[in-house]
Amino acid sequence: MKYVDEFRDRQLAEQLAKAIAAEVDSAREYRLMEFCGGHTHAIFRYGVQDLMPENVQFVHGPGCPVCVLPIGRIDNAIQLVQQHDVILCSYGDLLRVPASKRMSLLKLKAAGGDVRMVYSTQDALRIARENPQRQVVFFAIGFETTTPPTAVAIKQAQAEGLENFSVFCNHVLTPAALTAILESSESHGTGRVAIDGFFGPSHVSSVIGSRPYEYFAEHYHKPVVIAGFEPLDIMQSALMLIRQLNEGRSEVENEYIRLVSREGNTKAQALVAEVMERRAEFEWRGLGLVPDSALQIRPEFAAFDAEKRFTLPAISASDIKGCECPRILRGQKRPTDCKLFGTVCTPENPMGSCMVSSEGACAAYWSYGRFRQPQRQAQ
């Protein structure tokens, strides 16, 4: 295949749906977690769940970087503007995520706070160059995909001697989150993990490669298939997972060979390792404190670390009452299980992070699935 349309071909999708229907074992369930919010979005946009037999269920995971950021870190970003008078540069999705006391970065901006939406780290560097009299902080979030550009920006700022630029680092790591899901008390409470296999993330895997998932296949006996973002990618990957489960295999397979290798992008990995190191632990919305699950800026680059330059206390804040984001991010509930879905909580008036980002499960359900029949719960 050469063009993206071919990965959305209806006839091929029908053939794959028939192959899946022919191979599923009607005596069992297949609960397949898509870790990545991009997959959740594609599954709903193209109606992939509707093409699956009833006993093949997609379980949505914590792979939306905006969704998993705890409220306390957004409160910290608000403090940077209110108490330290910085120019805060942030990706657009983050602006509308609810913080404590009914605040958000967008409301802060509307009230006169200097919050600027950027499309890249390079935009933030430009703003720092243009405002030498002000401190400029880049609010860095994301999985392994968005980490290399942050590392590049820090090295660039160092090379240019930009003394008014720093990074509020919130980059998180995929394998640690997978471990947390598989090790969660809920899994142990039932005696078995409610997820049978994983769709490995696409963009993240292009950076870290498929090798880090081998541990999950070997140690937890969970098959992993790295899947592309198009509907045929997801259907082919579902078929590969179903075959592994039917045959009692738990291996790492790579459907997304057009972008992902076993080793990944070693140049990007080296760059990130030069500038950042692992935190002992980091709080994830829905998963709580997860060891070795995030990055911080190395002491050699402390001059560009907003957490060293400014006083930022650790803030523990609860989600809005009734918001089921934490359980949705653990794959235990679906958005339609939330009483606020589509009533109080909509994309125009989000109550939780999962309704904000286009990669969030609630936003995907709202955009493409809110008129469908309710589906069974993941557990």
**Residue 10: other Cβ atoms inside 10 A:** 9
Strand-pair category, 295-297 with 276-278: antiparallel
Q: Residue for token digits 């997609």?
A: 58
Taking the least distance from each CB to ligand SF4, the nearer of 40 and 206 is 40
Binding test (CB under 6 A) with ligand SF4, winner from 16, 105, 276, 323:
323
Q: How far is the CB of 179 from ligand SF4 (least distance, A)?
A: 24
Taking the least distance from each CB to ligand SF4, the nearer of 264 and 352 is 352
Interactions with ligand SF4, residue window 335-374 (CB under 6 A): 335, 338, 340-341, 345, 350-352, 354-355, 362
Taking the least distance from each CB to ligand SF4, the nearer of 203 and 333 is 333
Strand-pair category, 281-284 with 288-291: antiparallel
φ, ψ at 313 (rounded to 5°): -70, 150
Task: Describe the crossing of helices 121-130 and 147-160 by its angle, rounded to 10 degrees.
Answer: 30
Q: How many residues does the chain have?
A: 379
Taking the least distance from each CB to ligand SF4, the nearer of 146 and 353 is 353
Q: Quick one: which segment of 4-12, 131-139, 154-162, 322-330 binds ligand SF4 (CB under 6 A)?
A: 322-330
Who's near 371: CB < 8 A, 6+ residues apart?
A: none
Taking the least distance from each CB to ligand SF4, the nearer of 217 and 345 is 345
* Residue 71 near ligand SF4 by CB under 6 A: no
* Residue 325 near ligand SF4 by CB under 6 A: yes
- From first CA to last CA, the distance across the chain in angstroms is 37
Output DSSP code: residue 284.
E
Binding test (CB under 6 A) with ligand SF4, winner from 328, 329, 364, 378:
328
Taking the least distance from each CB to ligand SF4, the nearer of 167 and 362 is 362
Interactions with ligand SF4, residue window 178-237 (CB under 6 A): none
Taking the least distance from each CB to ligand SF4, the nearer of 234 and 338 is 338
Applying CB under 6 A, what is the total number of residues that bind ligand SF4? 15
Q: Which of 178, 111, 130, 149 is nearest to 276 (CA)?
A: 149
Binding test (CB under 6 A) with ligand SF4, winner from 324, 357, 364, 369:
324
Burial of 370 (0-12, 13-18, 19+ CB in 10 A): middle
- CA atoms of 298 and 160, how far apart (whole Å): 19
Question: What token pair was written down for 164?
Answer: 């008014």
Q: How far is the CB of 334 from ligand SF4 (least distance, A)?
A: 9
Q: How far is the CB of 216 from ligand SF4 (least distance, A)?
A: 27
Question: What token pair was written down for 101?
Answer: 């006391």
Q: How far is the CB of 25 from ligand SF4 (least distance, A)?
A: 33
Taking the least distance from each CB to ligand SF4, the nearer of 19 and 103 is 103
**Minimal CB distance residue for ligand SF4:** 352
Taking the least distance from each CB to ligand SF4, the nearer of 212 and 352 is 352
Please give the angle made by the CA atoms of 329, 268 and 236, to the nearest 5 degrees: 50
Q: Quick one: which segment of 31-39, 85-93, 182-190, 319-327 binds ligand SF4 (CB under 6 A)?
A: 319-327
Q: How far is the CB of 351 from ligand SF4 (least distance, A)?
A: 4
Rg (C-alpha) for the chain, rounded Å, is: 21
Alpha-carbon separation of residue 17 from 10, 183, 197 (angstroms): 10, 32, 19
* Site residues (vs ligand SF4, CB under 6 A): 323-325, 328, 335, 338, 340-341, 345, 350-352, 354-355, 362
